[in-house]
Amino acid sequence: MLGHKPDVLVLDLNMPGGRSSLEALPDVAQRSPATRTVILTMQEDPEYARRALRAGALGYVLKDAADGELVDAVRRVAEGGTYLNPALGSRLATTPEQPSGPPGALSGREAQVLRLIALGHTNAEIAEQLFLSVRTVETHRAHIQQKLGRSTRAELVRYALDNGLLDR
């Protein structure tokens, strides 16, 4: 992944293939310990920012503010500082941490998507059943994987079984 050793790496929170950049951060740290990471995302939920910072990111920039903030964030992180979108930072400070784990951490739609994944449906089949685009299903799946800390279909199936999502 890192053939080069950049000072600062900017990663989208949702990488192609459904993999979360939060899953990639340990690889970055191992292969290039001096590389600092800024996450660029559409996710305004403070919980995503918390997870990114815990995973080792030093910057968190929202895509809708990237024009005015991304360069500043990269500079601050390159200088050894941190950067968090100001509006999100205040929400992060006032929003209690959400417990991880059970289906309550998932939205209703995410629970539906997870159930269908666990039942063996493809993204296209899920999209058709729920009247969504395939891209929307992929986005839901990426969010589910991030929230639950699971990356493979087998792990998602095990989670769904353990939490009664297939009993419905």
> Does 134 share its domain with 78?
no
> Does 58 share its domain with 20?
yes
Which pLDDT value is given to residue 15?
Answer: 66
Q: Which domain holds residue 110?
A: 103-162
> Does 14 share its domain with 58?
yes
57 burial (CB, 10 Å; 0-12 / 13-18 / 19+) is buried
pLDDT band at 24 (very low <50, low <70, confident <90, very high): confident
Contact in structure between 80 and 58 (CB atoms under 8 Å): no
pLDDT band at 102 (very low <50, low <70, confident <90, very high): very low
Which pLDDT value is given to residue 161?
Answer: 83
| Domain end marker among 74, 94, 114 | 94
pLDDT above 80 (res 101): no
> Does 107 share its domain with 136?
yes
> Does 69 share its domain with 129?
no
Distance CA 40, CA 67 (A): 11
Which pLDDT value is given to residue 137?
Answer: 92
Residue 159 token pair: 């989670």
* Lookup result for tokens 């939920």: 45
Which pLDDT value is given to residue 68?
Answer: 84
Would residue 127 count as lying in a domain?
yes
Distance CA 127, CA 132 (A): 5
Would residue 89 count as lying in a domain?
yes
Would residue 136 count as lying in a domain?
yes
Which pLDDT value is given to residue 26?
Answer: 76
Which pLDDT value is given to residue 138?
Answer: 92
Contact in structure between 133 and 127 (CB atoms under 8 Å): yes
Which pLDDT value is given to residue 73?
Answer: 93
pTM: 0.57
Which pLDDT value is given to residue 17?
Answer: 62
Distances from the Cα of 50 to the Cαs of 42, 44, 132, in angstroms?
A: 15, 11, 29
Distance CA 44, CA 71 (A): 19
Over residues 3-32, the mean pLDDT reads 76
Dihedral sign for Cα 149, 152, 153, 158, please.
negative
> Where is mean pLDDT largest: 38-42, 72-76, 106-110?
72-76
Higher per-residue pLDDT: 136 or 15: 136
Would residue 3 count as lying in a domain?
no
Which pLDDT value is given to residue 168?
Answer: 54
> Does 87 share its domain with 115?
no
Which pLDDT value is given to residue 139?
Answer: 92
Percent of the chain with pLDDT strictly greater than 70: 88
